[in-house]
């Protein structure tokens, strides 16, 4: 398993080292002779030929995120061509928010606030973890990540894991990286990232 991940990381780094930061190239379909299969997420297979919404909807660990994306009216956008990098909080991440927060956010009158929170988890690029790790190293340990929602996250390494710190100091760890999609990539995270204010 470790050997496979090392080979994946080495191959991805070789490809991405010649591309600009947050390379906007699409990954080939997973499971082919030249690429490994995507990791399972929420007990479901993730398919590189499906889009972000289709794959997230299959994950039993992302039901809250999918409901929030629907409530915010972002389904069509995240089914679009992208490319997008989505830092996808799990249901457990949403459960760490104060009681009643999610129920309040999905109400129609809070759509703008919900949209802001969700788009602070999206980057308009296809950024695989080796590329992010290289940017962190190149920036001497912290790389600013500008999101579609206007938030700036601080990407750092904690051992071999990527962490993201939001503008309020909340820290999310990438628990499953590089889940390739037809329109980008998902990185599963353990904490909801929030905009300032």
Cβ neighbours of 19 (radius 10 Å): 12
Name the E strands within 58-158: 84-89, 122-123, 143-146, 152-158
Please give the pLDDT value at position 58: 86
pLDDT of 45 higher than 90? no
> CB of 19 within 8 A of CB of 145?
no
Average the pLDDT over 75-81 and give the result: 87
CATH (one of 2.60.120.10, 2.30.180.10, 1.25.40.80, 3.40.718.10) for 2-189: 2.30.180.10
When comparing pLDDT for 174 and 25, which is higher? 174
pLDDT of 6 higher than 70? no
When comparing pLDDT for 18 and 141, which is higher? 141
């Amino acid at each position: 398993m470790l050997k496979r991940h090392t080979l994946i990381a080495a191959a991805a780094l070789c490809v991405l080292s010649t591309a600009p930061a947050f390379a906007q190239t699409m990954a080939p379909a997973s499971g082919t002779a030249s690429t490994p299969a995507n990791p399972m997420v929420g007990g479901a297979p993730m398919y590189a030929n499906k889009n972000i919404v289709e794959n997230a909807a299959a994950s039993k660990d992302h039901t809250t995120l999918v409901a929030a994306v629907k409530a915010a009216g972002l389904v069509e956008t995240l089914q679009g061509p992208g490319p997008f990098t989505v830092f996808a909080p799990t249901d457990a991440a949403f459960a760490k928010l104060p009681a009643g927060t999610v129920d309040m956010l999905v109400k129609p009158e809070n759509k703008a606030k919900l949209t802001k929170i969700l788009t602070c988890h999206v980057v308009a690029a296809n950024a695989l973890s080796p590329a992010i790790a290289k940017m962190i190293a190149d920036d001497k340990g912290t790389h600013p990540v500008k999101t579609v929602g206007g938030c700036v996250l601080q990407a750092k390494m904690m051992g071999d894991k990527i962490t993201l710190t939001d503008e309020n100091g909340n820290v999310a760890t990438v628990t499953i990286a590089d889940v390739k999609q037809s329109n980008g990539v998902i990185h599963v995270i353990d904490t909801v990232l929030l905009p300032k204010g």
